Amino acid sequence: MEIIKLQGTEDTPGIILDAETETMEISGRSLPEDVAAFYEPALNWLKKYSENPGDKTIFNFKLTYFNTASSKQLLEILVILEELQKKGNDVLIRWHFPEDDEDMEEAGDEYADIVDVPFEKVSY
């Protein structure tokens, strides 16, 4: 599978999707101008990955900020991971947040309540 590796900018998150090294991560700030177009390659990659996933899928969210439009795309990613879990695959979401950022911690809690996937909160 192709590797997606996008460097984060002030308005877009860094994204690493690498099936071979089992690295899946979104980090930084997410407020791209065209959110759907920005996240489309990542969503397509995950759908393709779901057809032949690794033994354990660990997806790391290391966001410091995201806007409402981004939150919908993040939920789509989580729904794909939930489908993978429902098929009997081993899936873990790691939600990283600054220890003093209650909003990001709560966002992780809200997503954990919406999807039925093991969530691990990691403060830093």
- Stated pTM of the model: 0.95
C-alpha to C-alpha distances, 122 to 31, 33, 63, 89, 101, nearest whole angstrom: 23, 29, 12, 22, 12
Q: Is residue 21 part of a domain?
A: no
pLDDT for res 48: 97
For the chain, what is the domain count? 1
State the DSSP code for 87: T
pLDDT for res 27: 98
Q: Is residue 41 part of a domain?
A: no
H or E stretch at 39: helix 35-51
pLDDT for res 30: 98
Counting as low any pLDDT under 50, the low residues of the chain are none
pLDDT for res 120: 97
pLDDT for res 67: 98
Token pair, residue 112, equals: 């954990």
Q: Which domain range does residue 84 map to?
A: 55-98+106-124
